[in-house]
Chains A and B, each alone.
Chain A
Amino acid sequence: MNTKQIHKFVNRYLEATDCSIIEKSPAHFTVKLSPNADRELTNRPYYWSFVDRVGAEPETMTFLFVTDKEKYESGLQTDPDPAKPEAPDSQASAADAALVRSFGFINSSVNAPRVPRQDVYFGSQRLEQLFGAAKSHGSFVYLFQESDKRGGSPFSSTPYTAWLGVNIKVEFACDRKREEIHSFGVSLVTGYCTDHFHDRLLEIRLTPRLPANIHVAKNGISYAKAQAIIEQALERKLKAYDYTWAGDAASRLQEELDRIDTYYKTLLQHATDENKPAIQEQYEQRQAETRWQYEPRVTASAINCGVFHLEGID
């Protein structure tokens, strides 16, 4: 993700969670979080449990998210706006840091709310948290395609098909790892299964509300059947892959196990009876570690999924 993509990502997250953006540029956002986003991002479980119990009006936090550090800081230098809360003067900040250590945090200006600055870059903990927040509230959806056919006869009804869609992450791992993402959709009417389903969804407009003048065709298969179809499709696809890497990993594993065998068998031969149990234990521990390290495995897990009602009968 480059800074532009991150900026867009942050923007869409803040809008989707109803945060109020106080100020923004292509390099930053100053934003007062919505209660939902605050719960998700500020790690203040005690505060929120207090608000929930007492029923108090929550005071959410305000942040300065900097998505493009260089651009933001060069903007600061050209823009002599004294209201900006941060002045990266090393001397002053060192002194502040020292004061914070002995007295705790001190608000530099008592009236202004504290606006902590956070740099959001790929790999930063804040972005990682935004990723997690998106996932925790973007996992299960139930949506309808918005019809493009406006002004059609109010008496005609468009047929819709319900699809089970799921995005799957597949991990290929041994002592190393790579990943793939697959997206399957199965028509609950016919059982037809398609690949790249997510891309298809991105091309249309979706809404949680049931549109007017449509009817959803009767499901021909159960959800469980649809799920089984997806698993079979995935399995069929994966079976066709090249597993040289796994073969290599397995032979590395065997090589390592052989080496351990030779070492410990000699050691056991020469050990006194007293020492044997300890050596045997270490031997087994090393074997277990080596399997853990090298054993090739493929795992599939869902990123998110949903039921999508799309135009037409497929």
Chain B
Amino acid sequence: MTSDNKTQNASDNGQTFTKRKLHPHVDLQIDRSWFDELQHRLSRNGPWDDWTLYQLAMEAEQAKRVESFEQLQCLRTLPSFEPMPHQIGTASKVLHEMGGRAILADEVGLGKTIEAGLVLKEYMVRGLVKRALILVPASLVLQWVRELNQKFGISAVAQKKEHTWGYDVVVASMDTAKREPHRERVLGTDYDLIIIDEAHKLKNKKTTNYQFATQLRKKYCLLLTATPIQNDLDELYNLITLLKPGQLGGQSDFAANFVVDKRLPKNEDQLQEALSSVMIRNRRGDGGIHFTKRFVKNIPLNLSPEEKALYDAVTGFVKERYDESGGDLTSMLSLVTLQREVCSSRDAVFLTLVNLFKKTTEDSPLRPKIWELVEKIKGITANTKAEKAMELVKEMNDKVIIFTEYRATQEYLLQFFRAHNMMAVPYRGGMNRGKKDWMMDLFRGRAQILIATEAGGEGINLQFCHHMINFDLPWNPMRVEQRIGRVHRLGQTEDVKIYNLCTLGTIEEHIVNLLHEKINLFELVIGELDHILEKLEGGESLEQRLAKVLLQSGNDQDLKRQLNTLGSSISQIRNEVKSSGSNPYSPGPDLLVKMDRLGQSVEVKP
């Protein structure tokens, strides 16, 4: 050893290394553990390793070597897919110009997950990230794990047990992470990279989520959101403070320099300039997203005389109860369900009647009336809708998903198709992850039909299927949209065909009419409906309004008129929304702040 006074020796958990000054800004740190081991082996005359493996070890290092600061290394390690140019551009910008701390604010559908995956992979390849934490909404945990494993070859693990925190790359939900005992583990770890998806949930700094996020210890950090500002300029300020405190000055500087009113910015050019070093927002080109076409067909059906008799009896029953209650709506809503269920299947209505029966006291005058209805159910032998559905399925001769609102109808249909030697599998919200995946696999494989009661959740991406039957329709238009969204989404290469089974002379006819003709629900672009309903709702959901109209109207004429009024007010809002262009899938949704220079415009083709 030289006695150079700039040289320090240190021994740290068995590793020996020295430090020397190379340049005013940089020390050279040399690891000497190799020499200790070599001397050890020399003193004991071995054991010695193989010359070929020695060469291979060197070749491996040469192959893995990160040649330059700039060039993206991870691209050559991703044989299974090819990122789009704007995604690569975004990843390089985060890596090279933003020091690895950024808000990825691309519009929906441009692949923020891919961009984040590229950044993570690149840092891992370069050995700059070993431990990473990915915080996402609970429903997206498994999707992230799958994407990272399949697309990027990153062995990410979904957080399940406490010991999972020991893995290098962990995906967890924010709600879990912020709770004890997890909280302590997470806050006690220095993460090389933290990714937070749906980061707009952090915009309010008073929330526990926000405070938790500020306490995380991290080197690099990515926040993903399509809507960095929704209502208030402070939201933007708070997000940026998580990444780079002071980037927009102190809170008062920010208010003085950039804010006129909480919804109105000023000095937008300077603001954009200040944002450009922490935020990237790519927009969809003028073409928006090119979806395949959507064909909607209503299939009108006449109920069999027995079914019609049941429907009329149930309608009478519901009206009677309503009149008895003296117009109390809240307790009546569940009764309206009865009417809807008759339109679906006798099994559904039977189940509800039985429950209703159980709830009444033994001497209740209702009991015989309910019993009467049950007797009517017994008279029904066939299900008009089910037969029509089977006819349609046979005609299509292709994969098809059938949605129903009711568990009982789902069970009935499963049996019905099975009895006709057609392979159908169920899908519902209550199933655990493994079972859901299994059902998906079966549907992708041998089963022709999937019968689902639930459209929400990310688990069902059915781009390989382009036929859909609405066995009955939910009254909540959002749920209808979710159903459509499962099939008609990016990656769907075929035109999508949607069939609505609609029984004539029932409330179903009115609902289908309202959703289809008035809201034009089936032709709306995904996301538009949100805006319409937001503007419509005055505290009451559309579902409640419908029930009210239904109960209050004296006769069919009256009902039609009232539904018409409701319909027209909705179509009016729809036209406003259309013209104001606040559809998130259309280019440039309204974000309060101009962000056109924070990214590029991308034409997306499915």
Contacts and interface: CB of A to CB of B under 8 A. Distances in A.
B49 A137 contact: yes
Nearest to B221: A289
Interface string A275-299: 0000000100110010011101111
A247 B25 contact: yes
B22 A298 contact: yes
Contact of B153 (A125, A241, A293, A296): A125
Interface string A234-245: 110011010101
A235 B30 CA distance: 10
B110 to A, nearest CB: 24
B52 interface: yes
B67 interface: yes
A294 B100 CA distance: 10
A198 B55 CA distance: 9
**Which applies to chain B's interface (DSSP): helix, strand, loop or mixed?**
mixed
Given A90-B445, A181-B61, A223 B42 contact: yes
A215 interface: no
A12 B56 CA distance: 8
A259 B34 contact: no
A13 B218 contact: no
Chain B interface bracket (under 10, 10 to 19, 20 to 34, 35 or more): 35 or more
Contacts, number: 254
- The residue in B96, B214, B219, B246 that gathers the most chain A C-beta atoms within 10 A of its C-beta is B246
A178 B245 contact: no
Contacts of A267: 250
Given A123-B79, A300-B31, A141 B51 contact: yes
Given A95-B442, A260-B246, A301-B34, A123 B214 contact: no
Contacts of B446: 91, 94-95
A177 B127 contact: yes
Interface stretch (B320-328, B433-441, B512-520, B556-564): B433-441
Contact of A177 (B53, B66, B214): B66
A95 B441 CA distance: 7
A285 to B, nearest CB: 6
Interface string B244-282: 111101101000000000000000000000000000000
B390 to A, nearest CB: 23
B514 to A, nearest CB: 39
Given A125-B153, A249-B25, A262 B250 contact: yes
A31 interface: no
Interface in A166-186: 166-167, 169, 171, 173, 175-181
A250 B24 CA distance: 10
A228 B66 CA distance: 27
A41 interface: no
Interface in B23-71: 23, 25-35, 37-39, 41-42, 46, 48-69
Contacts of A260: 245-246
A303 B442 contact: no
B95 interface: yes
Contacts of B126: 176-177
Interface in A9-56: 9, 12-13, 15-17
Contacts of B100: 175, 293
A115 interface: no
A292 B129 CA distance: 12
B29 A176 contact: no
Contacts of B442: 94-95, 98
A263 B245 contact: yes
Interface in B274-317: none
A193 interface: no
B201 interface: no
Contacts of A134: 53, 56-57, 59-60
Interface string B80-102: 00000000000000011001110
Contact of A259 (B1, B101, B220, B247): B247
Contacts of B32: 227
A13 to B, nearest CB: 6
A13 B25 contact: no
A231 B67 CA distance: 22
Nearest to A124: B153
Interface in A99-119: 101-102
Given A135-B60, A169-B61, A297 B30 contact: no
B65 A234 contact: no
Given A98-B438, A98-B445, A175-B99, A245 B69 contact: yes
Contacts of A61: none
- The residue in A9, A169, A231 that gathers the most chain B C-beta atoms within 10 A of its C-beta is A231
A231 B55 CA distance: 22
Contact of A305 (B38, B61, B245): B38
A101 B32 CA distance: 49
Given A121-B79, A177-B126, A198 B58 contact: yes
B444 interface: yes
A63 interface: no
Given A94-B441, A167-B61, 10 more contacts: A5-B63, A138-B56, A176-B126, A181-B62, A207-B51, A234-B30, A262-B250, A297-B29, A298-B22, A304-B57
Closest 10 CB pairs of A and B: A123-B77, A138-B53, A263-B246, A302-B34, A94-B445, A131-B60, A134-B56, A138-B57, A16-B52, A301-B31
Interface of B: 1-2, 18, 20, 22-23, 25-35, 37-39, 41-42, 46, 48-69, 74, 76-79, 95-96, 99-101, 125-128, 153, 155, 190, 214-215, 217-220, 241, 244-247, 249-250, 252, 434, 437-438, 441-442, 444-446
26 contacts: A16-B50, A16-B53, A94-B441, A94-B446, A98-B445, A101-B438, A124-B153, A140-B41, A142-B46, A171-B127, A176-B96, A177-B69, A177-B128, A179-B66, A208-B48, A231-B30, A239-B22, A243-B25, A243-B26, A246-B23, A256-B244, A264-B245, A285-B217, A292-B219, A298-B27, A304-B58
